[in-house]
Amino acid sequence: MPTARMTIDPHFTVGPIRRNLFGGFVEHLGRHVYDGIYEPGHETADAEGFRQDVIELVRELGVATIRYPGGNFVSGFKWEDSVGPREERPRRLDLAWHSTETNEVGMHEFRSWLDKVGSDLMLAVNLGTRGTAEALDLLEYANFPGGTALSDRRIANGEKDPFDVKIWCLGNEMDGPWQIGHRSADDYGKIASQTAKAMRQLDPRVELVACGSSSAHMPTFGEWERVVLHHTYDDVDYISCHAYYEAKDGDIGSFLASAVDMDGFIDTVVKTADHVGAVRGSSKKIDISFDEWNVWYQRRFHDEERMTGIENWPVAPRLLEDHYSVVDAVVFGNLMISLLKHADRVTTASLAQLVNVIAPIMTEPGGPAWRQTTFFPFSITSRLARGEALELKLDAPTYETAEYGEVPLVDAVATRDPETGEAAVFLVNRSQSEQLELSIDVAGLGDVTVRETHTISDDDIHAKNTLDDRERVAPKANASARISDGTLTVTLPAVSWTALSLG
């Protein structure tokens, strides 16, 4: 059995873990909102039509801030359509997903749903078909206490208190040719800077996110960030990163190393941002909002699914409904390890997405809701990763991948809450054939014991939870974990993700 060694020392911290790292994303896309979180006829629906079984699962998942309402959807969105009396709200064509948006669920309903699931709102403004003026209107509607036309309209629509939205995204994926209103970095940087300055004049408390690249594999990657930040450095707090991973052509070895790519993506954006700061002689640091990340089988998603002809604009079609396997959950858990390893600069993140659409939670209309395999690494990490992320010393064997060259078989991060002394370790074994024994020097953590152990692995790495077999995959306790003389030993099965909590 291969072995690996690691040392955890609470003196070596990466940075504080902010709750916003465990954010989510709800887009008006497919069956996410309609027939997902909202299904008035469902047996669990509350008075507002929200499924309570879904609310329970979102609460269990432990999601901090939720980005809304898109995604690509936001680049054609008129926020005014989504407020006011429901019967007066217009039905609109959503060009991004070739669907009909009924606006039955709008800003106020979503805000109410957020209270039920215990999450905060993060809004994106439309910089595709719209601009600074409409962004200001929305900010006034949402955050201004009252006594002006738009804030009074919010009050008349039933919400006396301001929404107090703290984090705002300045558009979505404006580097992508598929985006409505796609621009060059120079053009986007100018409009983003102008909009950010105006928004801060209205509400100086807001935190603003400039669009970074929609993937590290965009031809403009790097230069896009440099130019956009050149325009917006003094006006924004974050630059965004988006990344989706999938097993390409059955290459599981490379897929299991996806977090290596995510690590490199983050490091490059941090260096680019710091370069712009250095050139400007600025002491300000720009953080990363990793506001779209997940496993997504994009190659399985064909445009014909969406482009259904001029006469056919369905309401809530089944789009992007990936069904996740054990290996997907292992990669997903590893992406969370990557985010935690960069907690000093990645200070907010949004899992894309939450329900039905590339989601940890699935629903069937008139039927049950259930947890996908990816639900578990998210809920467990969100619950156990507290305090500070720690820098580790890790000595592990390596293996060769087609996409990323030689990579370690093990990836890991540890966290510790300095107030309670409680710690957690998150681990993956990327080997497809062998279990691995890991020894961790935990002497620096004091006299700790193993409290909880959770491992996701299976003889069938392609096993999934489906409508017919909703509990096929779940984390199991890992009985091998024990501490003796300041050393924690644990056996990690092949293709596995593990979380240990120590206290």
Residues of this chain that interact with ligand AHR (CB under 6 A) are 27, 70-72, 172-173, 214, 292, 352-353
| Residue with the shortest CB distance to ligand AHR | 71
Shortest Å distance, C-beta 503 to ligand AHR: 37
Shortest Å distance, C-beta 31 to ligand AHR: 13
Nearer CB in complex with ligand AHR: 134/322: 322
Asked if residue 37 lies in contact with residue 28, where contact means CB atoms within 8 angstroms, the answer is no
Shortest Å distance, C-beta 266 to ligand AHR: 18
Nearer CB in complex with ligand AHR: 136/295: 295
> Residue 227 and residue 378: Cα distance in Å, rounded?
34
Nearer CB in complex with ligand AHR: 96/448: 96
Nearer CB in complex with ligand AHR: 260/351: 351
> Residue 38 and residue 465: Cα distance in Å, rounded?
22
Nearer CB in complex with ligand AHR: 130/154: 130
Nearer CB in complex with ligand AHR: 292/388: 292
The conformation of residue 383, written as its DSSP 8-state character, comes to: H
- In single-letter form, the type of residue at position 70 comes to G
> Residue 131 and residue 35: Cα distance in Å, rounded?
31
What is the crossing angle of helices 185-202 and 132-143, to 10°?
A: 30
Q: Which residues are catalytic?
A: 173, 292
Asked if residue 62 lies in contact with residue 48, where contact means CB atoms within 8 angstroms, the answer is no
> Residue 39 and residue 284: Cα distance in Å, rounded?
46
CA dihedral 386, 389, 390, 393 (to 10 degrees): 120
- In single-letter form, the type of residue at position 389 comes to A
Beta strands at 487-492 and 482-484: parallel, antiparallel or unpaired: antiparallel
Per the DSSP assignment, residues forming a β-bridge with 363 are 369
Shortest Å distance, C-beta 172 to ligand AHR: 5
DSSP output for 172-234: S-TT-TTSTT---HHHHHHHHHHHHHHHHHH-TT-EEEE---S-TTSTTTTHHHHHHHHHHTT
DSSP output for 90-149: PPEEETTTTEEE--SS-HHHHHHHHHHHT-EEEEEE--SS--HHHHHHHHHHHH--SSSH
> Residue 259 and residue 257: Cα distance in Å, rounded?
5
> Residue 171 and residue 179: Cα distance in Å, rounded?
10
Beta strands at 65-68 and 405-408: parallel, antiparallel or unpaired: unpaired
Question: Token match 């300055």: residue?
Answer: 197
Nearer CB in complex with ligand AHR: 3/298: 298
Asked if residue 169 lies in contact with residue 291, where contact means CB atoms within 8 angstroms, the answer is yes
Nearer CB in complex with ligand AHR: 353/496: 353
Q: CA distances (Å), 210 to each of 77, 223, 289, in order?
A: 18, 14, 9
> Residue 436 and residue 414: Cα distance in Å, rounded?
18
Nearer CB in complex with ligand AHR: 305/441: 305
Element (H, E) at 256: helix 252-256
> Residue 141 and residue 164: Cα distance in Å, rounded?
10
